[in-house]
Amino acid sequence: MSSKPAFPSSSSTTDDRLPLPVHVAIIMDGNGRWAKKRSWMRVKGHEQGASTVRTIVRASRKIGIKVLTLYAFSSENWQRPAKEIRALMHLLKKFLKTEEKEMVENNIRLHAIGDIDRLPGDVVRRLNAVQRATAAGRGMQLNLALSYGSRGEIAHMTRCLAEKVRDGNLELKDIDEEMISNHLFTAGLPDPDLLIRTSGEMRISNFLLWQIAYSEIFVTDTLWPDFTEEEYLSIIDAYRQRERRFGKTVPS
């Protein structure tokens, strides 16, 4: 039996609308502004943001999303004040602890992507434990992008392929798009069909640069802590009414 879940194709549907996206990726932004609006510490915004993570993971599993990738901590976020980084790491550990049981029960597999070794040792140990405990989950894969930067990921993939060529295990002519995809942290997963960014910023912020080549993008002004299941479902509905052409023309 394959060790990886099989992902249905999102390219065919029986009605006029697109099928449900297989892979949804989200840039969760606006925690700080949410807290600032209330004259609260930024960490309060992250706490509320963690609660939104729970809501959106549950909603995704409920409606049948197969892969959910959340940008939880970027490689650039290491430049934030030490106190805020500590608070984010603490929240992450707490989330992993409180959600493990529900993930196992709901058949959700957790997978961390990014420069994981840069995270504090206790967080890495917890992540590894939850990844082991949920490894059999075939209902949905939850990717947490942690200490993640897409350019770093691409540099890592390039080193990996260069090493194989140097050692005589790979021929230059065999390097194609599929091989590149298979050497990224998202190897084996379909590319995101839908990319959502909260808080209104029109930026990609070094997230999945290779993988989002043909993703449909939705930006909402809602700050991440205020993002609800209802809005998530309405974005998915709007996605299903779009037309994806993948660079081709529409059949007349």
Report the catalytic residues: 29, 77
Site residues (CB under 6 A) for ligand FPP, limited to 185-224: 224
> Strand order in 216-219's β-sheet?
108-113, 140-148, 67-74, 23-27, 194-197, 216-219
Residue among 5, 7, 19, 33 that touches ligand FPP (CB under 6 A): 33
Q: Which residue has the tokens 């989200």?
A: 26
Helices (H) then strands (E): counts for the chain: 7, 6
Least Å distance, CB 193 to ligand FPP, is 22
The answer to whether residues 71 and 145 touch, using CB atoms and an 8 Å cutoff, is: yes
Tokens coding 223:
């700050």
Single out the residue of 44, 46, 66, 111 in contact with ligand FPP (rule: CB under 6 A).
Answer: 46
Report in angstroms how near the CB of residue 84 gets to ligand FPP at its nearest: 8
**Given the complex with ligand FPP, which of 78 and 214 has the nearer CB atom?**
78
Among 77, 107, 205, 206, binds ligand FPP (CB under 6 A): 77
What is the β-pairing status of strands 216-219 and 108-113?
unpaired
Residue from the set 20, 22, 53, 67 that interacts with ligand FPP by CB under 6 A: 53
Instruction: Tell me the window of 5-13, 72-80, 104-112, 121-129 that interacts with ligand FPP (CB under 6 A).
Output: 72-80
Residue in 10, 20, 22, 49 binding ligand FPP, rule: CB under 6 A: 49
Q: In whole angstroms, how far apart are CA 25 and each of 45, 78, 95?
A: 21, 21, 19
The footprint of ligand FPP on residues 121-160 (CB under 6 A) is: 144
Tell me which residue has tokens 């959340």.
70
* Minimum distance from residue 231 beta carbon to ligand FPP (Å): 15
| 88-107 footprint of ligand FPP as x/- string (CB under 6 A) | ---xx--x------------
Among candidate residues 54, 48, 140, 45, the one with its CA nearest the CA of residue 95: 54
8 A C-beta contact, residue 34 and residue 223 = yes
Least distance from ligand FPP to the Cβ atom of residue 128, Å: 16
